[in-house]
């Protein structure tokens, strides 16, 4: 645990437990723990507020975290010009919320971390597409053991943002709980991690000045490992730098 002089506020998008009708909002607590133990303060940005309010909230935070979760809904395939398959579960309100939040955050140059569904919606919002359902193959992407345990390997690209907190290690053991994956990578993103079967497990911005990372696995459940703690630390540090730079800009502009 460490403290930044200014503890970054990080917006987390949250949807309903039962899509498309008022029910109970749902956020896996380990995202909150991962952020607070990295020195940040989480701020919930929930469905049920209007798009202008989403933009206002994004403007007031220092970073954006797009989470996933057990049985998280899939982004609607119409956002990448496909019809929904029977296996696709959708929450249109969460899609709208996250697409608006991503547009505002990337417009501001704000750091963005997408996890699992968050990685997928990030790719879709920026113009990419998804594999709607991964057929069972050589690698099991839907583990039936707890998420605190790793199940498959992932090869990272040397020099990527993820390789640095991993201590330069290019082979990472990760957990896996997804039935979809990135198909066409969005313009502005590049693939920096794949599993043995070629499934995309990590993307980042093609612009080295932007901190935008998407991971298909769940680092918030693996905080007992240095590499995953390091990812959150790097994200929170980038959020602090982002706001410090904006404050300097405001104070020095005429
Ligand atoms: Mn996987």
Q: What is the mean pLDDT of residues 28-45?
A: 97
pLDDT digits (tens, 9 = 90+) for 49-62: 999 999 999 999 99
* β 25-26/63-66 pair status: unpaired
Q: What is the pLDDT of residue 19?
A: 80
Rounded CA-CA distance 145/142 in Å is 9
Per-residue pLDDT at 254: 64
| β-bridge pairing 41-46 and 9-16 | parallel
Ligand 1 geometric centre to CA of 183 (Å): 14
Neighbours of ion ligand 1 (CB under 5 A): 141, 176
Q: Write down the pLDDT at residue 220.
A: 98
pLDDT reading at 2 higher than 70:
no
Q: What are 110-152's pLDDT values in tens digits? A: 999 999 999 999 999 999 999 999 998 999 999 999 999 999 9
The H or E element that residue 238 is part of is helix 226-252
Cα 97 to ligand 1 centroid, rounded to whole Å: 25
Q: Is pLDDT at 4 greater than 80 in this prediction?
A: no
Report phi then psi at 183, rounded to 5: -100, -80
pLDDT digits (tens, 9 = 90+) for 204-244: 999 999 999 999 999 999 999 999 999 999 999 999 999 99
- Expressed in angstroms and rounded, the spacing between residue 2 Cα and the centre of ligand 1 is 30
Question: Distances from the Cα of 118 to the Cαs of 65, 69, 76, 167, in angstroms?
Answer: 8, 9, 13, 24
Give the distance (Å) from ligand 1 centre to CA of residue 96: 25
Cβ atoms within 10 Å of 97's Cβ, excluding its own: 25
Quote the CA–CA distance of 137 and 223 in Å, as a whole number.
Answer: 28
Residue pair 175/70 in contact (Cβ under 8 Å)? The answer is: no
Q: Residue 245 C-alpha to ligand 1 middle, in angstroms?
A: 35
Confidence of residue 14 (pLDDT cuts 50, 70, 90): very high
In the predicted model, what is the mean pLDDT of the chain?
A: 94
Ligand 1: centre distance to CA 197 (Å)? 10
Which residue, among 52, 218, 208, 204, has the nearest Cα to 126 in the 3D structure?
204
CA of 98 to the centre of ligand 1 (A): 22
Distance from the alpha carbon of residue 53 to the mean position of ligand 1, in angstroms:
34
Q: At 34, list the tokens.
A: 């991962």
């Amino acid at each position: 645990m460490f403290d930044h002089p200014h503890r970054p506020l990080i917006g987390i998008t949250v949807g309903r437990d039962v899509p498309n009708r008022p029910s109970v909002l749902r956020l896996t607590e380990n995202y909150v723990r991962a952020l607070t133990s990295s020195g940040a303060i989480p701020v919930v940005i929930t469905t049920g507020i209007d798009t202008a309010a989403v933009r206002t909230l994004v403007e007031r935070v220092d970073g954006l975290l797009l989470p996933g979760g057990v049985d998280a809904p899939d982004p609607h395939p119409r956002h990448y010009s496909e019809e929904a398959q029977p296996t696709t579960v959708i929450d249109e309100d969460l899609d709208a919320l996250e697409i608006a939040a991503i547009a505002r955050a990337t417009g501001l140059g704000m750091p963005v971390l997408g996890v699992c569904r968050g990685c997928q919606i990030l790719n879709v919002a920026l113009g990419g597409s998804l594999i709607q359902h991964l057929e069972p193959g050589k690698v099991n992407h839907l583990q039936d053991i707890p998420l605190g345990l790793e199940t498959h390997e992932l090869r990272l690209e040397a020099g990527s943002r993820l390789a640095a907190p991993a201590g330069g290690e290019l082979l990472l053991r990760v957990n896996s709980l997804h039935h979809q994956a990135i198909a066409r990578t969005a313009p502005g993103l590049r693939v920096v991690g794949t599993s043995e079967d070629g499934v995309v497990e990590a993307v980042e911005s093609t612009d080295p000045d932007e901190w935008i990372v998407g991971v298909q696995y769940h680092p918030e459940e693996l905080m007992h490992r240095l590499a995953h703690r390091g990812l959150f630390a790097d994200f929170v540090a980038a959020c602090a730098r982002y706001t410090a730079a904006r404050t300097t800009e405001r104070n020095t502009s005429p």
